[in-house]
Amino acid sequence: MNFTQQRESLTNLLRVSDKNQKYFIAKDQITGKRFAIAEFGEPGSVNIKSNFMTFKEMECFLFGVNAVKNNTINLTQENDLLSLPIYWSTNDFEAQAAQNFIELKKDNPEEFAHLEKWEQLYDKTQFPHQLERMISGHDASIGITWLTLEEYLGNCEIR
């Protein structure tokens, strides 16, 4: 998907919660590869209303905003785009597994020379189960961190 298609896709997502078209999708002026939500300000100026994010990050952000606007997620603070929940997914397990694989190969090249991909270290079919365990069993006073995910990812090791 090229930049124009990505921008159009994000605009369509934005319209679900912004039917009056108060906001629009802006791109960063430096790299042109990141997106933000903006609104028109004084004549000739634009007010940026969110952080600049990659396409995937903005897509997830807008899914969250739409869930809030459609009352499928309730916020304690009713400010347009200021508060959203954080989601963990099996993609996070895959990303951490890939990172672990790179580090193991780098730190112990002889021991792991026979391995070609992270899937040889972790059973990917266990990710949904471990994700569910992580979410349902976490300590809400400290939340879930990458260290928490790492602990549950350890339950998926093949070796």
Please enumerate, as own/partner, the contacts of 43-51 that have beta carbons within 8 Å and a separation of 24 or more: 49/23, 49/80, 49/81, 50/81
Do 139 and 97 share a structural domain?
yes
Sheet containing 24-27, strands listed edge to edge, beginning at the edge strand earlier in sequence: 24-27, 35-40, 46-48
Question: pLDDT at position 75, please?
Answer: 45
Q: Are residues 94 and 65 in the same domain?
A: no
The verdict on 144 and 98 lying in the same domain is: yes
pTM of the model: 0.50
Q: Tell me whether residue 78 is in a domain.
A: no
Residue 77: the pLDDT is: 47
Give me the number of domains the chain comprises. Answer: 2
Per-residue pLDDT of the chain in tens (159 residues, 90 and over written 9)? 788 888 888 888 888 777 778 888 888 776 777 888 888 877 777 777 777 777 787 887 777 666 555 554 444 444 445 555 677 889 889 999 999 998 999 999 899 889 899 999 999 999 999 999 998 888 878 888 889 999 999 999 996
**pLDDT at site 42:** 77
Provide the pLDDT for residue 65. 65
Domain, as residue range, for 139: 90-156
Whether residues 43 and 94 share a domain: the answer is no
63 and 110 assigned to the same domain:
no
Residue 13 lies in a domain: yes
